[in-house]
Structure 1
Amino acid sequence: MAYSDLRDFLSALERNGQLARFSDPVNPEPDLGAAARAVANVTDRGPALLFDNISGYENARAALNVVGSWPNHALMLGMDKDTPVKDQFFEFARRWDDFPVPVERRDDAPWQEITLDEGINLFDLFPLFRLNRYDVGCYIDKAVVVSRDPDDPENFGKQNVGIYRIQVKDVDTLGIQPLPTHDIGLHLRMAEERGENLPVAIAVSNEPVITTVAGMPLAYDQSEYEMAGAIQGSPYRIAKAPLTGMDVPWGSEAVLEGEIIAGVREIEGPFGEFTGHYSGGRRQPIIKIHKVSHRPNPIFEHLYLGMPWTEMDYTLALNTSVPLYQQLKRDFPEVVAVNAMYTQGLLAVISVKQRYGGFGKAVGLRAMTTPHGLGYCKVVIVVDETVDPFNLAQVMWAMSVKFHPQHDIVTIPNASVLPLDPSSDPAGITHKVVFDATTPIAPEQRGHYSQTVDEPDGTRTWENIIKGLLT
């Protein structure tokens, strides 16, 4: 099911009725951002959007909402577009277990066709535009940024492939937000302690598996490319960036190479974020671009962010849920499934097989100390194994009849959270809470839960019959 590049995936979407092409003239602002917001508003089965007649640009194309629905996400995994999200979760988790899959190195990358070493102007290369009304400027927000550990540059696993918001500040200058907890933040700290700039390569517009994996909270020495191979079921193709020597996706539309300038900080933002609020302006590092390589007339893929749900939420739903599931299951085999799809896991729902009274609370607290949970998992709801954490009706049922406000709340004061959480005060600090909505078992003796209504005989058979009628 591996897709060679973005164009290959867009063709697969079109074959499955999940691509909408727009050839009538559109303005970069507000039309492109408005279209991406609109498709998320009107349907949860939305197609990708491809624009090829953008005012002010010749031959420019922009793609939005590429993985902005569960059908598109299923097609990314090579599954039927009508695959339920819970089935996608368990298939994603199954493929995770195949990690690592060695990469395939190639030297014939299509982005090598055109190169620029001087006269670089990113506004000529891409149809850049602001997504939301009060964004401070144009952003590149779905590119993968590659950096290396300055103390161990030959360690392939420590080469980071991540997604960070990138503000276009000038024709060849970018702003980037590398949080100290991010791998690139660690790389930058090491470089600046040496008094050195940090080389980076930015691969723009890629097939969706690498952008999905680049947003996953992997361990520091786990290779995103080897995980991408596991998720797509075959070795991931990479090529060598000519200036920095970074390993970048073979099928990218464009590769920008440069360096983060040591010790320099400039105001970056405001920017409309995944929290549904503007982030404000903060002093952040800048990147100077020294070389650009690209295909002729590259497609510019952009990611809309704003009030959930948008493509951001579909893209980061399972790649957040599955790592939490894998990490928790190592400590607690009783964990059945994890739904951390809400605002990148600021809220998570965990289903468990109870071992003893209070067990659900222990699992919820452990989620907060996973690598991702340290910055997220502000609210954790724990439910029984019989409750589908991806079915909000069932979760709300468990909260309404299993949860007892006196006994089932655990609050952790002044815990860490990502600074973008608008409720944190000061930014980066918040109280966290576990809601235990599991059935009380010994030694907890309370409530009246002995007479659960189960489903009639034959229900599963009729589920399959009705599914067949619907398709």
Structure 2
Amino acid sequence: MANKVNDLRSALELLKGIDGQLIETDVEVDPMAELSGVYRHIGAGGTVSRPTKEGPAMVFNNVKGHPGARVAIGLLASRRRVGYLLDCDPKRLGFMLNDSVANPIAPQVIAEGEAAACQEIVYMADDPGFDVRKLVPAPTNTEEDAGPYITMGMCYAHDVETGEHDVTIHRLCLQGPDTISMFFTPGARHLGAFREKAEALGKPLPISISIGVDPAIEIGACFEPPTTPIGYDELSVAGAIRKEPVKLARCKTIDEYCIANAEYVIEGELLPNTYVEEDQNSGTGKAMPEFPGYTGVAPKQVPVIKVKCVTTRTNPIMQTVIGPSEEHVSMAGIPTEASILSMVDRAMPGRVQNVYAATPGGGKFMAVIQFKKTVPSDEGRQRQAALLAFSAFPELKHVFLVDEDVDPFDMNDVIWAMNTRFQGDVDCITIPGVRCHPLDPSNDPACDPSIRDHGIACKTIFDCTVPYDQKHRFQRSKFKDVDPSHWVPGFID
């Protein structure tokens, strides 16, 4: 099947033609907790509380309070589906993204006077009755959430001094008719540096938020330093995946660009020295469900975006994600895999066979590295590879090392290797006191007084590989290799 995907609509059309990958419903759904509650069962997977499963993407065609609006969820909530959307073997996605980072194709601004699909309809903030909460059908994921959240907004801004651009995904809460709060993980995103620089100069930072775009953009936007250093525009990764530039359009009200074929674009400015309590409208003390499976704490101060206008396609489709879902694993985890592959292969070419940023870690906390020892001097290099992985992705907490005969994408196989090839007193390597991720609640002095600050963790290597000189003792049972479809027509292994 030829992959013709270049926006959200073509992605949905592709999935419609593949059995079991997309379902639509015309039954009315309330965006307040109900929509996410439905998808939690149907296809969220990931670290969502059970019962849940990895299932099809969904489109809700009847959203309460938003006549004519549609909401899509779960497009990337399956590694196999990501493979369809990016036209790649699911087990080779990390390699494909690694190649894309190395061979970027820069975005391209559409010609002056050329119509942008994302600007077919324009709503100005000074229009009577303007309210971003009514224009954008953003779900409230749980009844405890601080408010409706945009969870799949491609935030695009530039450095006010150098002009360098960056695109990232942030937690965006609709706070009022023309105000949105924006959460930044400390020190983790280029846009945070852009905002701080603009604020130091007393200037607002123009920012566009493009919602409902090509899935290649959504995955490319999740790369982080050092793989994509400041000044590297991650839209170039999507360009490389599609082998053509991402098209940008000039915004209507700010000095910035947006993604030309997005379903929705919000134009605004991050205001200097202006903050709100993230839960000012709910008072719950909670933000929204985050990727580790817990609800994030609502900070007392988060920066504010002043909305200037909203532009949309005709009959736009809102796209959203459940934070602790398999969709987050795809978006964050596959770039993590590419980053580790890049870093380790430069140091020891050919040793790492594959990497999986596994579902239990939400795509960030845990990686399985498949390592091949070919000569006696390779013994010990597997642990060096794990140390390099921590450097490639600083938010990584646990690395599992397995041999080439273990499927890194099958956690049952990984845990089997741990049970039969791992000894806790000699094969567990701990590195305490290292900065990790603030959304892991165990990374806190309240859990261990030796932890000096929230967000510091003990990084751990679980070496489940066989010692090189013992390989002959660890041969797996050798079954006859046959094609089962001869006996079971249509069977896919």
- Normalised by the length of structure 1, the TM-score is 0.89
1:101 to 97, 102, 105: 105
The residue aligned with 2:315 is: 297
1:171 to 171, 177, 184: 177
State how 1:302-313 maps to structure 2 within 5 Å. 302-306=320-324, 309-313=325-329
State how 1:94-133 maps to structure 2 within 5 Å. 94-97=99-102, 99-106=103-110, 107-117=114-124, 118-119=126-127, 120-133=130-143
2:488 is the counterpart of 1:470: no
Residue pair 2:330, 2:363 contacting (<8 A) in 1 also: no
Paired with 1:294 and 1:44, the residues of 2 have a C-alpha distance of 33
Distance 1:253 1:468, change over 3 A: same
Paired with 2:479 and 2:460, the residues of 1 have a C-alpha distance of 39
The residue aligned with 1:207 is: 214
State how 1:204-283 maps to structure 2 within 5 Å. 204-217=211-224, 218-268=228-278, 269-282=286-299, 283=301
Partner amino acid for 1:399? M
2:351 is the counterpart of 1:348: no
The residue aligned with 2:339 is: 323
Partner amino acid for 1:72? R
- How far residue 242 of structure 1 moved from its aligned partner, in angstroms, is 2.8
Runs of 4+ residues deviating >6 angstroms: none
- Normalised by the length of structure 2, the TM-score is 0.85
Residue pair 1:160, 1:224 contacting (<8 A) in 2 also: yes
SS state of the match for residue 279, structure 1? strand
The residue aligned with 2:32 is: 29
Residue pair 1:45, 1:71 contacting (<8 A) in 2 also: no
The percentage of counterpart residues that share the same residue type is 27
Paired with 1:234 and 1:108, the residues of 2 have a C-alpha distance of 19
State how 1:450-469 maps to structure 2 within 5 Å. 450-454=472-476, 456=478, 459=481, 461-462=482-483, 469=490
Paired with 1:69 and 1:422, the residues of 2 have a C-alpha distance of 26
- How far residue 465 of structure 1 moved from its aligned partner, in angstroms, is 5.3
Number of aligned pairs?
Answer: 451
- After superposition, what is the alpha-carbon deviation per residue over 1:242-298, rounded to whole angstroms, capped at 9, x for unaligned? 333323222101211111111222222522111111111212111111122222332
Paired with 1:38 and 1:394, the residues of 2 have a C-alpha distance of 26
- 341-350 or 314-323, larger mean C-alpha shift: 314-323
Distance 1:102 1:192, change over 3 A: closer
Paired with 1:130 and 1:243, the residues of 2 have a C-alpha distance of 28
- After superposition, what is the alpha-carbon deviation per residue over 1:415-447, rounded to whole angstroms, capped at 9, x for unaligned? 1012111111132111111111222247xxxxx
- How far residue 96 of structure 1 moved from its aligned partner, in angstroms, is 4.5
Unpaired runs of at least 5, structure 2: 46-50, 279-285, 445-452
Residue pair 2:32, 2:143 contacting (<8 A) in 1 also: no
SS state of the match for residue 344, structure 1? coil
- How far residue 468 of structure 1 moved from its aligned partner, in angstroms, is 6.1
- After superposition, what is the alpha-carbon deviation per residue over 1:24-76, rounded to whole angstroms, capped at 9, x for unaligned? 22222332111221112577552221112222222111111122223421221
- How far residue 94 of structure 1 moved from its aligned partner, in angstroms, is 4.7
Unpaired runs of at least 5, structure 1: 443-447
Two-structure CA RMSD over aligned residues (Å): 2.3
The residue aligned with 1:197 is: 204
Paired with 1:466 and 1:411, the residues of 2 have a C-alpha distance of 48
Paired with 1:211 and 1:467, the residues of 2 have a C-alpha distance of 38
The residue aligned with 1:445 is: none
Paired with 1:122 and 1:159, the residues of 2 have a C-alpha distance of 25
Residue pair 1:126, 1:298 contacting (<8 A) in 2 also: no
Distance 1:237 1:140, change over 3 A: same
Residue pair 2:386, 2:461 contacting (<8 A) in 1 also: yes
Paired with 1:214 and 1:274, the residues of 2 have a C-alpha distance of 16
- How far residue 175 of structure 1 moved from its aligned partner, in angstroms, is 0.6
Paired with 1:112 and 1:26, the residues of 2 have a C-alpha distance of 27
SS state of the match for residue 32, structure 2? helix
